[in-house]
Amino acid sequence: MEFMTQFDSNPIEPVLVDGRQSPTALRVQRGVMRFLRSVHDMACYAEVPLVNGRRADVLAVGGKGEIWIVEIKSSLIDYRVDMKWPNYKDFCDRFFFCKPPELDAGIFPAGEGLMVADGHGGDILRPAPLDTLAPARRKAMMLKLARLGADRVHALMDPGPLAR
């Protein structure tokens, strides 16, 4: 995956940067992660693979172990063609959609949390309902996140071949 340092300013034409996300989605991801870290004191992970084969756009962990998943939708088309979001709810205490400022908030289900973000920060438009994880699932998620974080740091320190 190539790191992106410049973002395309045209939200209409989603050019894939890392094979998965458009420049708009990457801006939203950056902003929502900044917001969660600075305002809610949460540690954030991007692109977290889950055991059900899905990949969470942003997974955040709070100081008391609460887990939030944020599903980024960069456009109306992105929202309409991707209906896998209910599959994320089994892996978090709170589930949010996050959108760029120009996307209409009215397209998102009223019963789900909703955030807005740009490349600089974000905000919660609608809180997400609490659906507390079972203790065994929480433990499995925390172990996964600890290993994922360590692997990502190690890959930055030593980008050589993987041991696995």
- Rounded mean pLDDT, 21-48: 96
- The whole-model pTM stands at 0.85
**Mean pLDDT score across all residues of the chain:** 88
Say yes or no to pLDDT of 12 above 80.
no
- Domain borders along the chain are 23-157
- The answer for residues whose C-beta is within 8 angstroms of residue 14's C-beta and 6 or more apart is 22, 23, 24, 25, 74, 75, 78
- Rounded mean pLDDT, 22-48: 97
- Between 17-21, 35-39, 60-64, 104-108, the lowest mean confidence (pLDDT) is in 17-21
Cβ atoms of residues 97 and 115 within 8 Å: yes
